Amino acid sequence: MTAHKIVSHDAWIAARQRFLLKEKEFTRLRDELSRERRELPWERVDKEYVFESTNGRETLADLFGEHSQLIVYHFMYGPDWEIGCRSCSFWADNFNNIVPHLAARDASLVAVSLAPLQKLQAQARRFGWTFKWVSSHGSDFNFDYHVSFSPEALERGDTVYNYSPQKLGSTPKGRDEEGLAYPMAWVKHRIAYET
């Protein structure tokens, strides 16, 4: 643990007030960044993606359910992995309880993984998860959105991640990277996603 300076109450209040000014500036900057993110253009998605779900085969449009917005979480779980990513599992532990809050804001949440549906269902049962989790196995979805990479693309160094060319490792993790969310929306029967 870092050794901390011990001061009087008044000295601590003065230091905390100085730090509070920085926190408030950070909040203003984060609010501005959030506003700019909301104003980014949308990209039209015309490609038909199909996923395996507990309801059978579903298209990307089906995943919206009754809502006009869809939040897609890329859950790192390669087809040959025994269990999904530990960090993704940590975040997913919170998904069950946020689904109703998102629904109240006209949004659906879905986790998408490359692993076959049976593996996803087994992990969901083991962890007590009930949120919608679908398999993109056999689909280009993860590859088109640059969160999964073929061994050939990794070997060539021909990968795009975080919107620019990246040299990623060829380890099993290197074939699947984090992709927190793709906010999507129905726009006159066309799917658009925030770039």
Per run of 10 residues, the mean pLDDT along the chain (length 195 residues) is 90 97 97 90 87 96 92 90 91 95 94 96 97 94 82 72 65 54 49 50
Given this model, what pLDDT does residue 190 score? 47
Given this model, what pLDDT does residue 46 score? 87
Given this model, what pLDDT does residue 163 score? 67
Q: What is the DSSP string of 169-191?
A: --STGGGB--EEEEEEEEETTEE
Contact (CB, 8 A) for 194 and 42: yes
Give me the amino acid identity at 28.
Answer: R
Look at residue 87 and give its three-state secondary structure: helix
Could you tell me the strand order of the sheet in which 56-59 lies? Answer: 42-45, 190-194, 179-187, 69-74, 107-113, 133-135, 50-53, 56-59
The helix (run of H) or strand (run of E) holding residue 165 is strand 164-166
Look at residue 157 and give its three-state secondary structure: coil
Q: What is each CA distance from 104 to 38, 185, 191, in whole angstroms? A: 19, 15, 20
Given this model, what pLDDT does residue 189 score? 44
Given this model, what pLDDT does residue 172 score? 47
Given this model, what pLDDT does residue 195 score? 41
Given this model, what pLDDT does residue 143 score? 85
Which one, of 110, 116, 108, 109, lies nearest residue 135 by Cα? Answer: 116
Q: What are the beta bridge partners of residue 165?
A: 160
The helix (run of H) or strand (run of E) holding residue 51 is strand 50-53
Which one, of 71, 183, 51, lies nearest residue 131 by Cα? Answer: 71
For the chain, where are the alpha helices, taking DSSP H only?
A: 9-38, 60-63, 86-92, 95-103, 117-127, 141-144, 151-156
Contact (CB, 8 A) for 70 and 185: yes
Contact (CB, 8 A) for 74 and 179: yes
